[in-house]
């Protein structure tokens, strides 16, 4: 696999196991290194961006970047620039201070149920960071809950984060109520950040150190599951859309394939980081995606 090729052996193995290689090849033609005008226009409207990668110790994290729309924008045919950056206490801050860190990003707009992913190499800049794109592509609106951005941001910055090796009762409650999370994974040639959504309760807290969730049908790429097949390290990001609190988890994940074709992900926690008021934005209550299993039944 080269940096621009859509799939590596891990994704191919999962595609073959599920029997969707032909569909994956068709969808994979949409992946390329260039930022098209429609993607650039979408990016400039976004008030948040999720970025995933590995810290210097090798732990994989997903982190939240926020700003006024336009803080993330295309500044070249293959470059995205971000004004501002992560706070010093964020687990990925030190990695993004280095040149050439592999990262995956996802810009998800709940207002339109659209999302765009850009994977590449990050470097620090005087105003924040720049990412040279290897892969740019969009996904379908499945499992994205519609929300509106409420007027007036939250004043003040993030509170000091708390860290732990097990989930607290507060954190377990946040996860149990979640209808969305973001998932960072890595492979030998880079990193990726993706979205998972469903009705509240779709993520199950099996123990203070283990989460499980069903893998819903998607676009047949199996980028995330393919990465995990090759490298089990993973980072999860949960966002409280009302308070701006984020919960970042790092650990490992594996996929259990059942005989009936269903798939379950099992995540084992190494460390959790809870940051109150990490996001300044307030969002409305969700309009759940009609694609969510159980919705409308």
60-80 pLDDT tens trace: 999 999 999 999 999 999 999
CB neighbours of residue 88 within 10 Å: 8
- The helix (H) or strand (E) run that includes residue 269 is strand 263-275
Residue 5 confidence (pLDDT):
67
Average pLDDT over residues 265-293: 97
Cα gap 53→296, rounded to integer Å: 36
pLDDT of residue 297 exceeding 90, the answer is no
Task: State CA 170 to chain mean position distance.
Answer: 22
Which residue, 250, 252, 198, 254, is CA-closest to 226?
254
What angle separates helix 9-18 from helix 223-230, to the nearest 10 degrees? 120
pLDDT above 70 covers what percent of the chain? 98
Largest CA distance in the chain: 53
pLDDT of residue 12 exceeding 90, the answer is no
Cα gap 33→118, rounded to integer Å: 9
pLDDT of residue 257 exceeding 70, the answer is yes
100-147 tens-digit pLDDT: 999 999 999 999 999 999 999 999 999 999 999 999 998 889 999 999
Is the domain covering 9-275 a CATH 3.40.605.10 domain? no
Which residue, 97, 256, 90, is CA-closest to 158?
90
What residue segments make up the domains of the chain, in order of their start? 9-275
Q: Report which DSSP code applies to 98.
A: S
177-222 tens-digit pLDDT: 999 999 999 998 899 999 999 999 999 999 999 999 999 987 877 8
CA separation, residue 47 to residues 44, 119, 138, 148, 236 (Å): 8, 19, 18, 12, 20
Band (pLDDT 50/70/90 cuts) for residue 1 is very low
């Amino acid at each position: 696999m080269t940096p621009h090729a859509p799939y590596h052996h891990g994704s191919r193995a999962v595609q073959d196991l599920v029997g969707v290689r032909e569909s994956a090849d068709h969808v994979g033609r949409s992946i390329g290194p260039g930022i098209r005008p429609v993607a650039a226009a979408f990016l400039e409207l976004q008030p948040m961006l999720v970025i995933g990668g590995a810290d210097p110790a090798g732990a994989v994290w997903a982190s939240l970047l926020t700003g006024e729309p336009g803080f993330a924008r295309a500044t070249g045919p293959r470059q995205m620039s971000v004004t501002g950056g992560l706070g010093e206490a964020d687990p990925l801050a030190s990695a993004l201070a280095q040149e050439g860190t592999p990262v995956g990003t996802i810009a998800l707009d709940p207002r339109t149920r659209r999302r765009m992913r850009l994977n590449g190499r990050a470097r620090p800049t005087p105003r924040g960071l720049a990412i040279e794109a290897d892969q740019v592509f969009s996904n379908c609106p499945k499992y994205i809950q519609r929300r509106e951005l409420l007027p007036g941001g939250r004043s003040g910055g993030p509170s000091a984060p708390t860290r732990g090796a097990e989930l607290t009762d507060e954190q377990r409650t946040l996860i149990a109520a979640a209808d969305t999370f973001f998932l960072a994974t890595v492979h030998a040639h880079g990193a990726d950040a993706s979205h998972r959504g469903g009705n509240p309760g779709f993520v199950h807290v099996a123990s203070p150190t283990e989460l499980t969730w069903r893998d819903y049908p998607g676009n047949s790429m199996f980028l995330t599951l393919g990465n995990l097949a090759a490298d089990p390290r993973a980072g999860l990001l949960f966002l409280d859309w009302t308070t701006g609190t984020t919960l970042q988890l790092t650990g490992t994940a594996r996929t259990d394939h059942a005989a009936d074709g269903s798939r379950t992900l099992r995540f084992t926690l190494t460390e959790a980081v809870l940051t109150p008021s990490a996001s300044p934005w307030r969002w409305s209550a969700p309009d759940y995606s009609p694609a969510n299993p159980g919705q409308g039944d």
